[in-house]
A and B are shown apart, each in its own frame.
Chain A
């Protein structure tokens, strides 16, 4: 019968050393809301579990250059209840607030949500739309990567052996900027996104969109950053015509599969609807943000 080794390093260096030196299946444990479920279901049998909740820089939210640095293992509820963060990033906050129940969010982390590499992860499209940068520590030192470059497919990431995502950096916001995230689920909560759409945009003083990022979840093997959808908004006042172009671009970019959570046809249609509605919310929020 297999044995499970559990380690709870107190420093990032120790965690990296454990990861780099590990033999057999090794899993990083933050909140465990994905990992423990997979282990209980017998889907994976790790030889080593590395609990990172004792590492200070991975479990704190700090101000940095007018923006925020969020530890990868910070429990979701801490983010949801962080008033300044929630005010600056309402869309990312609402995406995080949609993960599981309050109890699950008391454990689950954004780093875990990203590295679990589910195409349907709620926080990932919102992080990508926000332009979040991931800080990664590894045996060769530290590096930075765009969040959209981390996940490469269902259950797969671009992290090399020994590497771990330590934190996310969200840069200072210009005026008239806001984000929004909407997902579609048959239930109102405690569900997995059938589709998700995040929109982050910046308006000028006249209400013209100067910058936008649109990311879609659960419609491809990874969350998508859809430049065409963003282009539909940039230069417009985010009016009905621009929103219709955005909707069409989002549906066109979707490459979903049929599965137990939704059909291909349904996902293509509804991801466009969600993107349009999210853009409308982001626009109205941006207008209200001096």
Chain B
């Protein structure tokens, strides 16, 4: 059954309210089962030996003594994993290469970063597993390493892959380099555009890689039956993705691996890949025992993905009246140890909010000796936006125009071409700018050492494949099973949509996350796709259920099904039978299940292509301490187009979360390496994410421009909010003290150094 694609005129009853989340009580009482909370009888503990070097060739590996240690039941090296074909598979923006993936799971020829996994062991206790790791002998040939992206691109840089020829250059370069890929997008004629400009601003920027910072470290437990079927419980954003990856990496039949998504203690993109999962499954297959694995916080920092750091140059040409006539950008993103930074997203998103006739973006994906970059909330977009939105601020200053008015003058509208080809098909950006312009704070007076900065951001938002099954119980309650792990309140949002569609109360809907073998394929939770796309699968399944309920009512009334309509949770006789019978509630029909045809249940699947993008515009006020360089945030106002706030309180929560992570990224978060490429701040004490008292009250302005491609107007909204904060803060600091910070993080020593520079 197709989802109607018109925005309903009727008043919504449940959507737009903010009830307590269905998963709330187990979480606040501590009973929710997270990745590390699962235990099985006969369970072993798996542990990983990790590289102490940033870059080294593995000359030899001897696990004999570890295998001989009493209590050790299995030892796993790369030799136990099948070799994979070297090929980039899947859509280019999110392509994977299993040849790389298996080498990230367990190193083969070389270790490419400190913390790179080499051997996994399973033993009867954690202590024995730790002891076994100490007995493993690895002979390394330590190689020169490279951490910084510009250094990695230098012609004399140490090479991570001696045969890597840059993709995307014709003819291909003859010489190998650390540049995995070059991307270029063009629109119009940038030379002509710059020639027509009255003013040109060109600036360079750097950002530091930042970790997603989820509180729950990676954790899983695997078991294997004697017939080779395996089962895995894991903290993940996509248990179907885990199944696909693990089955491929271990050469298993997909149907032989059943994956359960545990409750998740934060992910933000970082749990869209696998690290421990294939090891736990392989160790359980090898040992015959269940195997539990968890990372320490240090392992999370050293062995799991941050998002890229970058080096960027932006050039913008503008007319005196504020019309931007040309924009050029160079984005060099660190991929970490294996190709696959989100530079393509950076190239696509950087100028996306704007109507610029002539523009170009060039991107480089560059490997270096640090953990492989993994998705982080709007992957790639916050990085390019920091550079673009900072430059726009300088442009506004140069022509003496308010930065918000500059953006309003250049706002992309429906029909404006995007740099990668298609045209904008949704509004929403201008409305976020107007929301801020109307906010009384935007023109409020500022004190000494205080400043105000604003910035905007774009994110695609996702659609894609989702499945849902809706079952009506005999008491008239409904179970909604989806394949989407809930990382941001999606059980609440899908339950609200199901309640709205079925016409029943929210607390009569029980949403669950079904395992991979109990519901249809569902892509991972990411790209702000779940409330939108999985929501559509849920609504479609509800519509099927409603059709069935109408058929049951027709049967009870002995009338034609065409003469039954569904209204406010009731079947009503209609047409020629209108008024002939008392309406039957969902509950009343459900009670007659057996007599009218048996279970009432329906599944629906979507592969949705109609998501609408997200726009966020934010301003902040700061006060800079001129003697310490400390930046205190006084106020934050974030406007975002969310299409329709299904659960307004959780929408606000998502905006608060994105802004908060952006503040950490802007001010303090960074990886600190020693000269040998060792990470020396692998913990939350010295990897400084913000704490509550670092944050201002974050005021949210929820803009609702409905998405016509969703029955309730939903747009993804969990990511666009992390895009503007870094530039907004840099712009506010500039406004406060007249110094432009171009190198993240804008930590107190850097701000103080900028203040001292004359």
Contact = CB atoms under 8 A, between A and B. Distances in A.
Interface of A: 1, 41, 184, 186-192, 194, 260-263, 266, 269-270, 273
B151 interface: no
B749 A260 contact: no
B686 interface: yes
A262 B690 CA distance: 18
Contacts of A273: 627-628
Q: Identify the 8 closest CB pairs spanning chains A and B, nearest first.
A: A188-B693, A266-B749, A273-B627, A260-B672, A190-B691, A186-B668, A188-B694, A260-B681
Given A191-B688, A266-B748, A270-B752, 19 more contacts: A1-B128, A41-B298, A184-B630, A186-B630, A186-B668, A186-B747, A186-B748, A187-B691, A187-B694, A188-B691, A188-B694, A190-B685, A190-B691, A260-B672, A260-B680, A260-B681, A269-B752, A270-B627, A273-B627
Nearest to B684: A190
B676 interface: no
B691 A189 contact: yes
13 contacts: A1-B131, A184-B628, A184-B630, A186-B668, A187-B688, A187-B690, A187-B691, A188-B693, A189-B691, A262-B749, A263-B749, A269-B627, A270-B627
B691 to A, nearest CB: 5
Interface of B: 127-128, 131, 298, 627-628, 630, 667-668, 672, 680-681, 685-686, 688, 690-691, 693-694, 747-749, 752
A41 B747 CA distance: 27
A268 to B, nearest CB: 12
B628 A270 contact: yes
A273 B128 CA distance: 51
Contacts of B127: 1
Contacts of B131: 1
Nearest to B695: A188
Contacts of A187: 668, 688, 690-691, 694
A186 B689 CA distance: 10
Contacts of B747: 186
Contacts of B128: 1
Secondary structure class of chain A's binding surface, majority of residues: loop
A220 B178 CA distance: 42
B684 to A, nearest CB: 8
A188 B748 CA distance: 12
Nearest to A272: B627
B691 A186 contact: no
Given A187-B688, A261-B686, A273-B628, A266 B680 contact: no
A272 to B, nearest CB: 9
Given A186-B630, A260-B680, A266-B749, A191 B685 contact: yes
Contacts of A186: 630, 667-668, 688, 747-748
Nearest to A188: B693
Nearest to B691: A190
A260 B131 CA distance: 31
Nearest to B670: A260
Contacts of B668: 186-187
B114 to A, nearest CB: 15
A194 to B, nearest CB: 8
A260 B668 CA distance: 12
Nearest to B673: A260
A105 B341 CA distance: 42
Contacts of B752: 266, 269-270
Contacts of A190: 685, 691
A184 B688 contact: no
Contacts of B627: 269-270, 273
A186 B127 CA distance: 37
A134 B695 CA distance: 39
A263 B750 CA distance: 10
A189 B667 CA distance: 15
Which residue, of B668, B686, B749, has the highest number of chain A Cβ atoms within 10 A?
A: B749
A214 to B, nearest CB: 18
Contacts of B748: 184, 186, 194, 266, 270
Given A186-B747, A266-B752, A260 B693 contact: no
A261 B680 CA distance: 11
Nearest to A186: B668
Contacts of B688: 186-187, 191
Which residue, of A184, A189, A190, has the highest number of chain B Cβ atoms within 10 A?
A: A190
A39 B112 CA distance: 29
Given A1-B127, A263-B749, A192 B685 contact: yes
Nearest to A247: B627
Contacts of B667: 186
Contacts of A41: 298
B162 to A, nearest CB: 33
A277 to B, nearest CB: 8
A258 to B, nearest CB: 10
A193 to B, nearest CB: 12
A188 B696 CA distance: 12
Contacts of B628: 184, 270, 273
A1 B123 CA distance: 14
A82 to B, nearest CB: 23
B624 to A, nearest CB: 14
A260 B691 contact: no
A260 B680 CA distance: 7
A248 to B, nearest CB: 14
A84 B192 CA distance: 75
Contacts of A189: 691, 693
A86 B672 CA distance: 38
B306 to A, nearest CB: 17
A190 B692 CA distance: 10
Contacts of B686: 192, 260-261
A118 to B, nearest CB: 12
A186 B632 CA distance: 10
Contacts of B681: 260
A190 B752 CA distance: 22
